[in-house]
Structure 1
Amino acid sequence: MLIGASAGGVAALTELTAGLPKDFPAAVLVVLHIGVHRSTLAELLSLRCPLDVAFGRHGEAPRAGTVRVAPSDEHMVLVGGRIELTRSAKENHTRPAIDPLFRSAALEFGPAAIGVVLTGTLDDGTAGLQAIKAMGGTAVVQDPADAVEPGMPASALRHVPVDHCVPLAAMAPLLTALAGAPVNVAAALTGNGTNHGRTKEYAAMSPTQQRLVHEQALMLGTGNFTEHLRAVGQPSMFTCPECHGGLWELRDVVPRRLRCHTGHAFTERSLQLALSESVDEALWAALRALQEKEALLAQGANEQRGSDPAESARLASAALSAQRQAATLRKLLQQPARPPPAPPPPPE
């Protein structure tokens, strides 16, 4: 059982896990977007959840009746039936991210994987649910109307053939029933596809399933990254905002997704966010450089005033120009962000 959440997720996860029975027949793995900040999620959930709750431990085998939470700044994935914690490249501009866990579980457990997307912004979890469905698993989302932030569940509903969409109050009974249902795990790929070049299982997979194997290898940093990228996409005009390498656009995926050879991955929306942050950082750096340039020129003008009036005047004029440029840029930076205008209504 894989559960992913973002904004509003602490309250949602607390309510959901509190409703699970003590004899819950599956392991529960949880990712909450927490970034590098210290997480107390495991402690918070343990206050009300009747199951054994703790942060995931590297090498631990998931057991029924346990809840394992991804630690801060580490992806939690499944490889060889065990939890692997890794500081591999961010996906969707975050670490831990939901998609790596869901994708690894899809490859590891096939139809036995149950993915759950709860409240959150943007669209992390959509590609992960697609992976789970591609391997025969079950997709569950919180009703967007019931979510604090509807973005993630709404994206999943838009792009994934979801099996169940329910409000949070109905989630625990549903997951208990799904976890107790018998499944055929024959579609699971031994070794999580990391030995894809030598397995009959890989050769028998659909192109979509094979893409998942290559994506997982890129995330784990195994094999030849050029081979993996060529297998799943083609070069794009964009560069990775994390490492500044070239981004490859994945073929035949909706929503649009991109990857670089170091392992960073983005949906179109998370790339927009990352690029917006990069632009903001670059503009503030430009303002800093202009202010330093102004200060240096002004200092030179003062030093040259007595010995070389002409040079002092030139430096003072250049300092004034830098000051005006800095003022214009600061005014631009300090303008409040405004949403784009709403599209016009359709003609009647």
Structure 2
Amino acid sequence: MRTAGRDVVVIAASAGGVEPLRTMLSELPGDLPASVMVVLHVSPRGTSVLANILDRAGPLKAAPAEDQEQTQYGRVYVAQPDHHLLLHEGRTRLSRGPQHNGHRPAADPLFMSAALDAGPRVSAVVLSGTLDDGAKGCEAVRRQGGAIAVQDVAECAFPGMPAAALAAVPNAVSLPARGLAHWITAQTRTPVTAEERVDDDGTEWEVAQVLRHAPIMDDPNGQLLGLTCPQCNGPLFEQHSDRISRYVCRVGHAWSHDSMIEAQSDAVEQALWVAIQRLEERVRMLERMLEQAGERGQRNTWARYHEEANRTREALRTIRGLQSRIGNDGDNLLSS
């Protein structure tokens, strides 16, 4: 079945992505024959002013997405804080399902749900941002016949997300923000043919988990690893695709390579701070016991506590050094 053109546009951005978003929307026509869905990584707390910013950027009406809205042409649907935005049966869906790549909202659930719902009618765009959220989603869009474009990495304040998308889909188009707007418009005028669905690679289960339509699975289409999810400590499964691998736990938390490394670094740092706090408390307790043993003339007890206090101080110095090194090494690894 042929359709008039790609009438579903999904856009993802993170750090440094607001300005190119505004630029893109300022160049899109008011009669765009497509609906636009936008995810920006934002804090889960408080409110977002992104919809107001984008509403003033150009002729398209932008507003925070509501659950179960029938999508309309010429409208921009903006993900709300702490809610994934998805497309399901032609309607917007909001969900507080499992985080993806440490984010909610995240790019991958939106892109994957759109790929499943609209197939070749999808145009996906990845703008400036750190790490690699959106790469798996771009691959899902490609598998279902959609088109992918990314912001030119030379123009990006943070090129991580566009670079990861290009690694996952090497034939994706790379353009500056204004060029991306014209590319989107051209895609809406490019007739596409609905093809048969390709074999599922786990995308359906992940989208169903975000929508909370699927039960916890013993084997979420992957190889069981000797690793645990940084978020829920459940067992992790590695999923392989054409160019990328990712990690999924039984409840649906999903991690790309870079987001997994960062999440593990955060978990280790948190554990080290807990250890530092406990060791400092132990030093204070031993010092108190030392004072009391000295007052009572308990020489052997005083010597034992003194030796233990020295060992604890040495452990404290070691862990403080590790905490500092892990933070720096993690930053260096992710920027390399």
Q: Normalising by the residue count of structure 1, what TM-score does the alignment of the two structures yield? A: 0.86
Deviates more, 1:302-311 or 1:39-48: 302-311
Query: Which residue does the alignment assign to 2:235?
Result: 246
1:199 maps to: none
Q: Percent identity?
A: 36
Q: Which of 317, 328, 336 is matched with 1:327 structurally?
A: 317
AA at the equivalent of 1:159:
A
Q: Given that residues 221 and 263 in structure 1 are in contact (C-alpha distance below 8 angstroms), is that contact kept between their aligned partners in structure 2? A: no
**Equivalence for 1:195:** none
Bigger mean CA deviation after superposition, 158-167 or 282-291: 158-167
Asked if 1:20 corresponds to 2:28, the answer is yes
Q: Which residue identity lines up with residue 143 of structure 1 in the other structure?
A: D
Per-residue deviation, 1:303: 2.4
CA distance in 1, matches of 2:328, 2:170: 35
Contact 2:11/2:125, CA 8 A, preserved across alignment: yes
SS in 2 for 1:144: coil
Instruction: Describe the SS at the equivalent of 1:244.
Output: coil
Q: For 1:34, what is the secondary structure of its paired residue?
A: coil
Does the CA contact (< 8 Å) of 2:222 and 2:238 recur in 1? Answer: yes
**8 Å Cα contact 1:221/1:262 also seen in 2:** no
Q: Secondary structure at the match of 2:227?
A: strand
Unaligned 5+ segments in structure 2 are 1-8
Higher relative contact order (CA 8 A, sep 6+): 2
Residue number in structure 1 paired with 2:3: none
Q: TM-score normalized by structure 2?
A: 0.89
Looking at structure 2, the residues matched to 15 and 211 of structure 1 have their Cα atoms a distance apart, in angstroms, of: 35
Counterpart residue number, 1:164? 173
CA displacement 1:6-31 (0-9 Å, x = unmatched):
11111111111111111111110000
Match of 1:219 in 2: 210
CA contact (8 A) 1:290 1:326 kept: yes
Q: Does 1:304 align with 2:296?
A: no
> Per-residue CA shift, 1:138-185, capped at 9, x if unaligned?
111112122221221122222214342211121111211212333334
Return the alpha-carbon distance in structure 2 between the equivalents of residues 244 and 227 of structure 1: 15
State whether residues 123 and 267 of structure 1, in contact with CA within 8 Å, keep that contact through their aligned partners in structure 2. yes
Please state if 1:128 is matched with 2:137.
Answer: yes
Indicate whether 1:40 and 2:32 are aligned: no
Gaps of 5+ in 1: 188-204, 344-348
How many residues align structurally?
322
**Which amino acid counterpart does residue 125 of structure 1 have in structure 2?**
G
Cα distance in 2, alignment partners of residues 246 and 95 from structure 1: 21
Q: Which moved more, 1:278-287 or 1:173-182?
A: 173-182
| Residue 46 (structure 1) shift | 1.7
Question: d(CA) in 1 for partners of 2:252 and 2:239?
Answer: 13
Q: 2:97 aligns with which of 46, 68, 88?
A: 88
The aligned runs of 1:52-91 (5 Å cut-off) are 52-91=61-100
Q: Over aligned residues, Cα RMSD in angstroms?
A: 2.1
